[in-house]
Amino acid sequence: MYDLIIIGSGPAGINAAIYAKRSKLNVLVLEKETPGGKLNSISHVDNYLGFEKKSGAELATNFYRQFRSLDIPLIREEVLDIVIEENNKTVITNKNEYQTKAIIIATGRGQKKLKNFEKIQGISYCALCDANLYENKEVMIIGNNYQALEEAKYLSDIAKKVYLVYDKEFKELNKKNISYIRNESLVNIIEKDNVIKEVVFKNLKVKVDGLFVNLGSGPATYFCNNLNITNEDGYILTNEIGETNIPGIYAAGDIIKKDIYQIINAASEGAIAAINASRYIRK
């Protein structure tokens, strides 16, 4: 059993891990994507204390280099659920289960998951990343924003057929291999071996080779749905020490409800959460 599991390795998660390690905790970091999080996509940062005009990627590299120097274990897996049993907590990923005494959630903001289908592994949330896997195949994209339309256009140049689930029809996307699906309620998604086979609507069933989703960005708390620690927008609610309404579960960074979203206060919140998690563990 771990003393502390940190979910996410952006500025908040990395700083939490550093403070936890220096507190002599047995700590594990779980991250499904690239360490540094959204920081990697920021073109330049000129307001972070001690660093002048760094790119986000450079700053993320500096954070990660310090993290690695402490030999903190990091496992690349996606967290799907958290189960609470008295004082012990189980973090369930797409590959394993891990027991721990305390948890810090620092997953930040990312692509919104498809509600009620968050745990389906075969859904892609990045057309640019995965489109080439579906060359000359039939795919579907579910979206509610302009980026979804752009992704549909991109997919149509690679896939044989694109089903676009969108409320409106746009003339600029009137291509022969794009079909619109409107005013339909999603009922089920059929998946086998992490591959999408069929999408079921109230009045329609569509066989596909792949499913893409673009619903914009928001807090990455889909794995917390059963914990009752978020507000209606999905942001985690914490007190002044970073603790949620569940003892031993903390949160930090862009995942929490707050007024200011900056790199420096995300890192600070990670430190606060780690210090108080250490106190909780050593009670």
pLDDT per 10-residue tile (average), the chain, 283 residues:
97 97 97 87 84 87 95 96 90 96 94 87 88 95 89 94 84 79 93 93 95 90 93 94 97 95 95 98 91
Alpha-carbon span 167 to 151, nearest angstrom: 16
- Going from the C-alpha of 41 to that of each of 3, 12, 58, 72, 244, the distances in angstroms are 32, 16, 10, 24, 29
Q: In the prediction, which pLDDT does 169 show?
A: 67
Q: In the prediction, which pLDDT does 170 show?
A: 65
* Beta sheet of 161-165, edge-to-edge order: 123-124, 210-214, 138-143, 161-165, 178-181
* Beta sheet of 195-201, edge-to-edge order: 186-192, 195-201, 205-207
Looking at the chain, the domain(s) classified CATH 3.50.50.60 span 2-110+217-281, 123-214
Q: In the prediction, which pLDDT does 171 show?
A: 61
Pairing relation of β-strands 109-111 and 217-219?
antiparallel
Burial class (CB in 10 A: 0-12, 13-18, 19+), 192: exposed
Alpha-carbon span 196 to 70, nearest angstrom: 40
Burial class (CB in 10 A: 0-12, 13-18, 19+), 76: middle
pTM value is: 0.82
- Token pair listed for 276: 């108080």
- Residue 40: count of CB within 10 angstroms of its CB: 18
Q: In the prediction, which pLDDT does 217 show?
A: 84
Q: In the prediction, which pLDDT does 110 show?
A: 82
Q: Facing residues of 124 across strands? A: 212
- Which CATH superfamily includes the segment(s) 123-214? FAD/NAD(P)-binding domain (3.50.50.60)
Q: In the prediction, which pLDDT does 39 show?
A: 85
Contact 167, 145 (CB under 8 A): no
Q: In the prediction, which pLDDT does 172 show?
A: 63
Q: In the prediction, which pLDDT does 258 show?
A: 93
The number of helix segments (H) and strand segments (E) in the chain equals: 5, 17
φ, ψ for residue 255 (rounded to 5)?
-80, -20
Q: In the prediction, which pLDDT does 68 show?
A: 95
Q: Is the dihedral of CA 197, 201, 206, 210 positive or negative?
A: negative
Pairing relation of β-strands 249-251 and 178-181?
unpaired
- Say which CATH class 2-110+217-281 falls into: alpha beta
- Kindly state the helix (H) or strand (E) to which residue 15 belongs, with its residue range: helix 11-22
Q: Is the dihedral of CA 79, 65, 270, 248 positive or negative?
A: positive
